[in-house]
């Protein structure tokens, strides 16, 4: 098996990433489209981290840093590559990014119904905070 390679995404990766999320990620977001992911990469070129084996995309994580909070989104591993250290390697890269810019705690958003994701985050040392609720409002 080829070695796992970690790199940041480029705008040319956006279509492939969106297709990958349809296979490997749970749920969608209002900004899961070409324009939204392109804006992410253009605004913060180090945020979207990819894992590849050879030429195959096998994992992603968004390590968003706004100067105050370190937020993780879209940790996704291709079903055929799970339980092989891909998510751990992606999270190591995200954590290194956060530490380099002064981050002190990483937060992850996980769908309540995503039991696989909850198990992965627990295995990575994350704990659910029951006292928080997410409040959202669509814009526009």
Work out the burial of residue 63: count CB atoms within 10 Å of its CB; fewer than 13 is exposed, 13-18 middle, 19 or more buried. Answer: buried
Distance (Å, whole) CA 119 – CA 27: 17
Q: Are 91 and 59 a contacting pair, CB within 8 Å?
A: no
> What is the sign of the dihedral through the CA atoms of 92, 98, 104 and 107?
negative
Q: Calculate the average pLDDT of the chain.
A: 92
9-46 pLDDT, tens per residue? 999 999 999 999 999 987 678 888 999 999 999 999 99
57-107 pLDDT, tens per residue? 999 999 999 999 999 999 999 999 999 999 999 999 999 999 999 999 999
What architecture does CATH give domain 4-123? Answer: 3-Layer(aba) Sandwich (3.40)
Listed residue (93, 75, 85, 108) closest to 6, CA to CA: 93
**Domain extents in the chain:** 4-123
Over range 105-128, report the average pLDDT: 89
């Amino acid at each position: 098996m080829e070695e796992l390679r970690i790199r940041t995404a480029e705008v040319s990766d956006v279509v492939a990433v969106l297709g990958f999320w349809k296979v490997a990620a749970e749920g969608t977001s209002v900004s899961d489209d070409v324009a939204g992911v392109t804006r992410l990469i253009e605004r913060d070129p180090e945020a979207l981290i990819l894992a590849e084996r050879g030429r195959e995309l096998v994992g992603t994580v968004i390590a968003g840093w706004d100067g105050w909070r370190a937020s993780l989104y879209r940790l996704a591993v291709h079903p055929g590559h799970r339980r092989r250290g891909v998510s751990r390697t992606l999270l190591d890269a995200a954590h290194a990014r956060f530490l380099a810019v002064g981050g002190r705690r990483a937060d992850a958003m996980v769908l309540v119904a995503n039991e696989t994701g909850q198990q992965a985050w627990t295995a990575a040392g994350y704990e659910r905070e029951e006292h928080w609720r997410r409040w959202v409002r669509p814009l526009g």
